[in-house]
Amino acid sequence: MSHIIVIFGISGDLSKRKLLPALYHLVRMDLLPNDTKIVGITRQDISVNSLINTDSICSLEPDHLCDTEALKRFQQMLDVFKMDLVDPGDYQKLASYLQKIESSHGKAMNRLIYLSIPPQVFGPIVRNLGESGLNKPSESAKFCHLLVEKPFGYDATSARELIAVVDQYFSESQVYRIDHYLAKETAQNILAFRFNNPIFESIWDSKHVKQITVTATESIGIEGRTIFYEQTGALRDLIQSHLLQLLSMVTMEKPISSSSGDVHKAKVELLRSIEPIRPDAVEQQSIRGQYYSYRHEVNNQKSISETYAALKLEINNNRWRGTPIYIQTGKGLAEKRTSIQLVFSNDDSQNNTLTFNLQPQESIEIDLRVKRPGYGTQIETTKMDFHYERSFAKGESPDAYERVLVDALNGDSTLFATRDEVMATWDIIESVVQNWQNTEKGLAFYKKGTDADDLIKALSVVPS
């Protein structure tokens, strides 16, 4: 069956950087049928041409070079529909417009509605979609899926409210809450690696793992996303979503099966066993920072939004009780790096580390201690590693947003966040969210280019 993909926020930053390049690339790889229609919703007067003529549209191509024929096909699929996002009348017009596309197509089309919009208009848009009947598949189509970008709320209360609005009009099986980090190849490999390599299974616990650190740093700053970042900050932007999701993959129990339902069940069980940070422990278990030029960039000399955040957490279950977990993220740091590192150690404090690297290169590495060649007995640390680019042909991994789109079209929700997972993650950080938005106390400042590992020391990470 064919599809209509309706994108709210087509002229936004995410759409330009990730979504349009992913859609173009799917067309180029013949993974989107030629009769697919993509309708970009916008409040502005923009043309299809202006959406396509961006530097990033072919960023997923080797050498960023566009394929002219594929670009033409993509252009023919793309339409722009101008409307007022809070005017119910405009939703009726949109419904008729989609109907017209289907009539001219001659058969029913499944719908995918993609919300890439600021959180404050999320509730009104969902309500308007529901009230105008755009929450249901058209007659004889199979589905109408709602694809939602993070952040899902500002805090636990607003997230609960948003979930309630969505529930009013869409069933949970229609809703696909994107966490594009889960769609990265190495993130998907975490479960495969854990449950297909028996040498690790018996040492995957607090008796053997002395520390877990999840890191996602970026060297870029906020790149002009002033309003978004002032409201969001590093804790909400990455820790609440991507990084707690990654942690759950590394620490969850083995799901009964690989079905989406069983994976989500095991994941939510783990997330609920992470001890929420207590209000009186915020100072000991969290740190935050802001890079020096940030206030100037956002033109707010009093801004207390954090561009760096780190938490110390504990999982209160039999497997993990006693292993400290560190999570850190930030912008304006020394390098772009996303990794999950487990430090294994014995009583003599000899360590081995196992690291899942998601970015910049995707790899899995183990640090081993070996004897240096020669007459002496000197022990040194060396690496045993698996790199995607060495083991598999280039181009075998779809980009995370390609994967997200294809899975949502195929109705596979394994790599998306359920409402229970979203709530569990907000509950873990709620007291930090409340504390940080109410006081400047504890906000440290750092130079752009600082190494994140120097910042996290303030949370007393055990040296590895």
Active-site amino acid positions: 242
Nearer residue to ligand BG6 within complex by CB, 237 or 362: 237
Q: Applying CB under 6 A, does 218 fall inside the site for ligand BG6? A: yes
Output the CA–CA distances (angstroms, integers) from residue 41 to 94, 403, 423, in the order listed: 9, 22, 29
Residue number of the CB atom closest to ligand BG6 = 237
Q: Applying CB under 6 A, does 407 fall inside the site for ligand BG6? A: no
Contact between residue 172 and residue 129 where contact means Cβ atoms under 8 Å apart: no
For the CB of residue 369, give the shortest distance to ligand BG6 in the complex, in Å: 32
CA gyration radius, the chain: 23
**In the window 169-198, what residues touch ligand BG6 (CB under 6 A)?**
180
For the CB of residue 151, give the shortest distance to ligand BG6 in the complex, in Å: 8
What CA dihedral angle connects 118, 120, 122 and 125, to 10 degrees?
-110
Nearer residue to ligand BG6 within complex by CB, 9 or 130: 9
For the CB of residue 218, give the shortest distance to ligand BG6 in the complex, in Å: 6
For the CB of residue 128, give the shortest distance to ligand BG6 in the complex, in Å: 25
For the CB of residue 336, give the shortest distance to ligand BG6 in the complex, in Å: 7
Output the CA–CA distances (angstroms, integers) from residue 395 to 189, 392, 451, in the order listed: 17, 9, 31
Contact between residue 169 and residue 127 where contact means Cβ atoms under 8 Å apart: yes
Q: x-or-dash pattern for ligand BG6, window 96-115, by CB under 6 A?
A: --------------------
Nearer residue to ligand BG6 within complex by CB, 90 or 362: 362
Kindly state the number of chain residues that form the binding site for ligand BG6, as judged by CB under 6 A.
4
Nearer residue to ligand BG6 within complex by CB, 218 or 367: 218
Interface pick for ligand BG6 out of 9, 80, 109, 237 (rule CB under 6 A):
237
How far apart CA 149 and CA 400 sit, in angstroms, is 13
For the CB of residue 364, give the shortest distance to ligand BG6 in the complex, in Å: 18
Contact between residue 125 and residue 85 where contact means Cβ atoms under 8 Å apart: yes
**In the window 327-386, what residues touch ligand BG6 (CB under 6 A)?**
359
Measured from the Cβ of residue 60, the count of other Cβ atoms closer than 10 Å reads: 20
Q: Which two tokens stand for residue 98?
A: 């989609």
Residue 460 main-chain phi, psi, to 5 deg: 50, 65
Q: What angle do CA 175, 172, 5 make, to 5 degrees?
A: 20
DSSP assignment, residue 352? E
How far apart CA 101 and CA 41 sit, in angstroms, is 15
* Positions in the binding site for ligand BG6 (CB under 6 A): 180, 218, 237, 359
